Structure 1
Amino acid sequence: MELGIIGLGKMGFNMAERLRLAGHKVVGFDFNKEATAKLTATGSIGVDSLEDLVKNLAAPRAVWLMVPSGDPVDQTIAKLEPLMQKGDTFIDGGNSNYKDTQRRHAEAAAKGFEFVDCGTSGGIWGLREGYSMMVGGDKAPVERLTPIFEALAPAKDEGWGHVGPSGAGHFVKMVHNGIEYGLMEAYAEGFSIMKAKETLNLDLVQISEIWQKGSVVRSWLLDLTADALKKNPSLDGMEAYVPDSGEGRWTVFEAIDLDVSAPVITESLIRRLRSREANNFTDRMISIMRNEFGGHAIKKS
């Protein structure tokens, strides 16, 4: 089967390579010409324009977008639409808001195009391990694209599925990322507590390796944590600054709208926001209040 991929970052390139190895034709475009040249060198087709990407695909075409959420998705679709034909399919494999996805699906359908949303997890390890894919959209295009999903997944019948109508794939991926926030925060807090217990002189690398086998808290995330600790046990040279992709926020907003209590995911998001504050005002406010009511000492900078 043929697939066009727009956005040849690490994940997009690895997806293209996994598809090529499975025998699929891949045509890729990126504004970074080094990325397109690398794709060509590995046996796929790297092109320098969207026009060339479309020309190198036979109808009905399928184009997978691996671009940042928001306006970049809309802009890319707007540039592609005049080049494509009715019956062609857009696949948004990025972390788009599911509400935007539902709007794009309706707009595409009105013009005769198919639109599929695919929440994609696997990061830089997807080439080797396969990708977990949560697919939303109409039944017909999803069935037609099944060989693509099977090739990208860990196995043909594992790690992917058609989870519902338009927007469902991105909604499930949003919740997936919210859960990821909570898991990461729990691991981080646990290891921080053990590091703070200096009298026991705990070896965090050893403990992470013990937990990897047989423990209730074992996971792939723990495996990655153990590998990272081996490389840098003291986390030297790193700042306590944690960005967020936006999906944790969307998960919290949805929980509020649905009257679902989600304190762990919410607090993990707040902790990420707080990590970006240098000498944050909130903590300084608490310090002066403690000083006012109890005479507690204030630590000067």
Structure 2
Amino acid sequence: MNIALVGLGAMGSGMAGRLVDAGLRVDGFDSDAEARARARGRGASVHETLEQTLAASPGPRVVWLMLPAGVVTRSVTATVLDAVGHGDIVVDGGNSHFADAAGHSERAVGRGAAFADVGVSGGQWGAEHGYGLMVGADEDTYRALTPVLDALSADGGHRRVGGPGSGHLVKALHNGVQYGILQAYAEGFALLRAHPEVDAAAALGAWQAGSSVRSWLLEQIIAAVEADPGLDDVEPVVPDSGMGRWTSEEAIRLGVPTPVIAAALHARFRSRSDGSAERMLRAARTRIGGQR
């Protein structure tokens, strides 16, 4: 099976290496020269342009996109869908909005190809340990992708979660849940630090050693605390990728209460606030208090 891998960043280059190690042919492209060099070092055949990459990868093939969500992914996806033919499979492995998948799937089918949206989790560690893959595709496309999914995933780490669109939906909800888990760990760490007699790093280690709150996320937190016990070098500003917002929007649309996820998302907003919202709230409370 031939793979054209578009996007060779931190995750893409690791994916290229796993595919090559599994004996699959990989033709890769990235606009960044350093990214191309990393993928070449992992054994991929790297090209200077998207067009050269597609031309070098004979069909039927899998064209796997690992690009930032938004304008770039939509533009490249449109170009790829115009270039594929019978038997090809286009995979969007980025964090795209799940609503985009239906149109992409329709265009692919119109050219005799297929489309799958795959939520990819595992970050830079996936190159060594394998990725968790949430696949949105029809049954036939999922079966055809199995050699690629087996090569990329952790043991048993890929599942078909529904038709086109469902892979990115499940990944968005996954990230929303992750927001809530991380917020809870952050609050727990803050409480540990509020007790100077407690060794916070040791406490986290005890939590990880068989307790009910152990997790891979906690493992990463412990590594960070061991390197910087007070996390003094960590900026108290937390970005959001947009997937937590999509999760909250979907919850509102369906009327499903998700207070933990919403609160965790708002905590990220608050971390980036310049304090104006807090000042307005205090002023409002003062006015209300004066009216009583």
Q: TM-score range by the shorter chain?
A: over 0.9
3-state SS of 2:231 partner: coil
RMSD: 1.6
- Aligned residue in 2 for 1:276: 272
Cα distance, 1:82 vs structure 2: 4.1
- Aligned residue in 2 for 1:233: 229
Cα distance, 1:253 vs structure 2: 0.7
With the length of structure 1 as denominator, give the TM-score of the two structures.
Answer: 0.92
Residues in 1 aligned to 2:133 and 2:231: alpha-carbon distance in whole angstroms: 32
- Aligned residue in 2 for 1:287: 282
The answer to whether structure 1 residue 243 and structure 2 residue 239 are counterparts is: yes
Residues in 1 aligned to 2:287 and 2:74: alpha-carbon distance in whole angstroms: 53
- Aligned residue in 1 for 2:39: 39
- Aligned residue in 1 for 2:152: 152
Residues in 1 aligned to 2:167 and 2:81: alpha-carbon distance in whole angstroms: 23
Q: Which amino acid aligns with 2:234?
A: M
Residues in 2 aligned to 1:143 and 1:106: alpha-carbon distance in whole angstroms: 19
Cα distance, 1:80 vs structure 2: 2.5
Residues in 2 aligned to 1:56 and 1:227: alpha-carbon distance in whole angstroms: 42
- Aligned residue in 2 for 1:298: none
Gap runs ≥5 in structure 1: 296-301
CA deviations on 1:4-25 (whole Å, 9 max, x unpaired) are 1111111000011111112111
Residues in 2 aligned to 1:178 and 1:290: alpha-carbon distance in whole angstroms: 31
Residues in 1 aligned to 2:27 and 2:90: alpha-carbon distance in whole angstroms: 14
Q: Is the 8 A contact 2:2 2:59 kept in 1?
A: no
Task: Select 1:255's aligned residue among 227, 241, 251.
Answer: 251
Residues in 2 aligned to 1:62 and 1:110: alpha-carbon distance in whole angstroms: 17
Cα distance, 1:292 vs structure 2: 4.9
Q: 4+ residue stretches of structure 1 with deviation over 6 A?
A: none
Q: How many pairs were matched up?
A: 290
Residues in 1 aligned to 2:256 and 2:161: alpha-carbon distance in whole angstroms: 21
Q: Is the 8 A contact 1:51 1:83 kept in 2?
A: no
The answer to whether structure 1 residue 133 and structure 2 residue 133 are counterparts is: yes
Cα distance, 1:286 vs structure 2: 3.1
CA deviations on 1:12-46 (whole Å, 9 max, x unpaired) are 00011111112111111000122213322332211
Residues in 2 aligned to 1:102 and 1:207: alpha-carbon distance in whole angstroms: 47
Q: Which stretch has the larger CA shift, 30-39 or 242-251?
A: 30-39
Residues in 1 aligned to 2:41 and 2:11: alpha-carbon distance in whole angstroms: 17
Residues in 1 aligned to 2:24 and 2:122: alpha-carbon distance in whole angstroms: 20
CA deviations on 1:226-262 (whole Å, 9 max, x unpaired) are 0010111111233211111111011111111111110
Residues in 2 aligned to 1:42 and 1:266: alpha-carbon distance in whole angstroms: 40
Cα distance, 1:111 vs structure 2: 3.1
